[in-house]
Every structure is written in structure tokens, then in C-alpha cells.
Amino acid sequence: MIETRSEPTFDKGLANTIAAESEMSYIDGVNGVLEYVGIDIDTLARSSTFEETVFLLWRRRLPTTAELEHFNAEIRREYQLPEPLWTTIQQIPATATPMHALRTLVSALAVHDEEADVNTPDANERKAIRLLARTPALIANFDRHRKGKEFVRPDATQDIATSFLTMLNGAPPTETMARALDVCLILHADHGFNASTFAALVTISTLSDMYSAVTTAIGTLKGPLHGGANEAVMRMLEEIGDIDAVEAFVKEKLVRKERVMGFGHRVYKAYDPRATYLKTFAGQLAEDTGNLHLFEMSRAIEKIMHDAVGAKGIHPNVDFYSATTYYSLGLDIDLFTPLFAMSRVAGWAGHCIEYLLDNKLMRPRCDYTGPHGIEYVPIGDR
């Protein structure tokens, strides 16, 4: 237990502030370690599934075979969207950004859930499962709607990764593709008090509801300094265009003190362990799908960044190689961040439930720097 300070201290961006305790993710930023409930992320990526990882995060232990089968059944029973949501999806302009669509549709889920404002642990667990189970259908079918394609409803015989890709593409994925997405969902499931999780906790700490908290989180994840970075990395690769242009592009950005997307992290000052895993993955997938040029460009960027700012603790983060991975999976670039959200619903909902066990309203202070003693001048005299 770290001591609780009574005197307010100024910590812009809360970089050095511990807001609460949690048993879900352990991050060692110096040594580049990430554990979910004590299990190393690399081991989980190699050995687990997204659904098993969600069970681990929410129940703080690995399930037995029977428990996992029951958990899978609970999730798949909730795949189907409330019927009016299909009309709601059609009412969203085809030109809408998928993250705006997702934020809108998660809010719409709330108005069809009679438990939306029931704040008991059991009701919140059920809502967590509904959010996890339904987000894939919202993302995939908004994409189908904006492309003028027929809706594809979720198939309860499939796991989340397979069901999402089947809805998105209108046909089941290969096992390799489904496993690749499953691993990406594991890697993105939770990560301590990142900005979007913290935003969700601020919302739930007022005893608002799970849907409002997840809506807050989606809006927060959208920013390019956070979950939006994976899309920004892909657009950067497209802008650079060719490996021969990499060095000049990166060096010019650094000279202009601009952020190179996919690098740096508030906590990791070593290589993000998720990036370590994703790098290998991206390389294999890129080779299998004819996108090796993207992977080679990424490696070239990494080398230049390492030489230029590696000593400052700026290394690839989870978003850098997930860009090539998602592109190789055939996803549109503006679906990269919704995919991040689809996984992080696990962390957002899990942290909300955990924080409510010992809730305290999140309300930091601000250091007032404005004037005092100003006279009120009637408008006629101004």
C-alpha cells in the first residue's frame, strides 16, 4: 500500500499519480513487462484465447474447462443485438467515422437494456458480458451498412474473433486469420489506468452506469495520442510510401519536434512487450499477405527512431506493429481503433466493476491561476 498524500500536489497529466489499486494488469515500464493477473502477456498471447483472457481479468484466475465453456456460452447467448439496433445502425450516415458510430451505437445499446441503471455487481457483470458480446456486431455491421452491404448477424457457434471476421467479410476467416485477430484481442484487452480506462473510472465513480462509462472510454480511446495511434501509424506508412523515403520523413518529423505515431509511452521506457510479440506476428502475416513492404518500412522506421531517440526511452508501443497486422488482416484503416475498443471493453468493464468494490468519487483539484477581487461592471458601463 503506497502512502496516501493529504496535501494537494501538482502533477500535470497525472503522470506520477496513483489513483487506485487494481489486481488486473501489472506494468513494469522500466523492464518492459506486462502481466494480466500475474501471467506474462507473451505467454497469454501464445497460449490463451481472448475469452479465456477476459475470464482471467474479470475473475482474477484462469477458468477450468467447464467454467470456460459456460463463460463462452454466456457471451454467445448475448451476441444478438436488440432488434431496434439494426435500424439505428442504418440511421447513421455512411460517411460517419467508425469510432463516432461505435460511440453512438454503444449509447443506443443502453436504452434497450432494462438493467442499464442497475448498479449491482451481478447486473454490471451481465452488462459487461453484453457489451463484450455485442460490440463486434456493431462495428462489423456499421462497416457493412456504410458499404451498402446486407447485415450479417453474429453466429453463436463461433468465438468472438471468428464471428467478427465472418460478419465483417460475409464469410468465415481462415484459421490463421481468426487466430491472428484472437491474439490481437488478447494483447489489447487491458493496460492499467490508460487514459480511456481512467475516463471510464471517472464516470463510474459518480455511480453513473456501465454504458455511460464505456461510452466515455470510446471517446477517449479515439484520440491519436491513445488508441487512434494505430490508424495514424498506417496513414504515416501510406504517406511515406516507399522505404527509400523513410529516413528523410522520420528525421524531418523529429527536427520539427513532431510525434512519430506508434512510438513512446507514458509508462514504458523500454520496448512495449506487446510490440515485441506483434512485431513477429506482423512480419509473418505481412509475408503471407504480400504486405512485406509495410513491415520492412516499419523496421526501417524503428531503426532510425532507435538511433535518434532510443536513449530517451522512446520505443515502439502496441500501436506500431498492430497497424501492419490489422492491414494484413484486410481491415480498413479506420477500423483499427474500433478493433482496439472491441478488445478494451474487457479492461474498461473489468476496471469499473473492480473500482466499484471500493468506490471513491474521482475529483482532482486544479491550481487556480486567475485573478481575484474583480468588480462586476454593469453591461451598460463596459
Give the footprint of ligand SDX on this chain (CB under 6 A). Answer: 13, 191, 194, 225-227, 229, 257, 259-267, 309, 312, 314, 317-319
Q: How far is the CB of 268 from ligand SDX (least distance, A)?
A: 7
Nearer to ligand SDX, 162 or 298 (CB): 298
Catalytic residue among 190, 191, 319, 351: 319
The H or E element that residue 34 is part of is strand 33-36
Backbone dihedral angles phi then psi of residue 191, each to the nearest 5 degrees? -165, 55
Q: Report CA dihedral (377, 379, 381, 382) to the nearest 10 degrees.
A: 80
Nearer to ligand SDX, 167 or 240 (CB): 240
Q: How far is the CB of 180 from ligand SDX (least distance, A)?
A: 19
Tell me, yes or no, if 70 is annotated catalytic.
Answer: no
Q: Please tell me the distance from the alpha carbon of residue 292 to that of residue 173, in angstroms, as a whole number.
A: 21
Q: Are 226 and 319 in contact (CB under 8 A)?
A: no
Catalytic residue among 226, 306, 332, 334: 226
Q: How far is the CB of 46 from ligand SDX (least distance, A)?
A: 19
Nearer to ligand SDX, 241 or 313 (CB): 313
- Alpha helix ranges (H) inside 170-291: 175-187, 195-204, 210-221, 229-240, 246-255, 273-288
Nearer to ligand SDX, 113 or 319 (CB): 319
The H or E element that residue 39 is part of is strand 39-40
Q: How far is the CB of 134 from ligand SDX (least distance, A)?
A: 22
Q: How far is the CB of 262 from ligand SDX (least distance, A)?
A: 5
Q: Rounded to whole angstroms, what are the CA distances from 65 to 185, 218, 334?
A: 21, 32, 36
Nearer to ligand SDX, 266 or 299 (CB): 266
Buried b (16+ CB within 10 A) or exposed e, 151-167: bbebeeebbbbbbbbbb
**How many other CB atoms are there within 10 angstroms of residue 190's CB atom?**
28
Tell me, yes or no, if 100 is annotated catalytic.
Answer: no
Q: How far is the CB of 289 from ligand SDX (least distance, A)?
A: 24
Cell reading at 156 = 453463436
Backbone dihedral angles phi then psi of residue 316, each to the nearest 5 degrees? -60, 140
- Residue type for position 14: L
Nearer to ligand SDX, 166 or 298 (CB): 298
Q: Please tell me the distance from the alpha carbon of residue 313 to that of residue 191, in angstroms, as a whole number.
A: 19
Q: How many residues does this entry show for the chain?
A: 382
The H or E element that residue 25 is part of is strand 25-28
Q: Which residue has the cell 504515416?
A: 236
Q: How far is the CB of 373 from ligand SDX (least distance, A)?
A: 36
Nearer to ligand SDX, 229 or 339 (CB): 229
Tell me, yes or no, if 226 is annotated catalytic.
Answer: yes
Q: Using CB atoms within 10 Å of the CB of residue 121, give its burial: 0 to 12 exposed, 13 to 18 middle, 19+ buried.
A: exposed
Pairing of strands 25-28, 33-36: antiparallel
Nearer to ligand SDX, 103 or 265 (CB): 265
Q: Please tell me the distance from the alpha carbon of residue 146 to that of residue 148, in angstroms, as a whole number.
A: 6
Q: How far is the CB of 314 from ligand SDX (least distance, A)?
A: 5
β-partners of residue 318 are none
Catalytic residue among 188, 191, 265, 351: 265
**Residues with catalytic roles:** 226, 265, 319
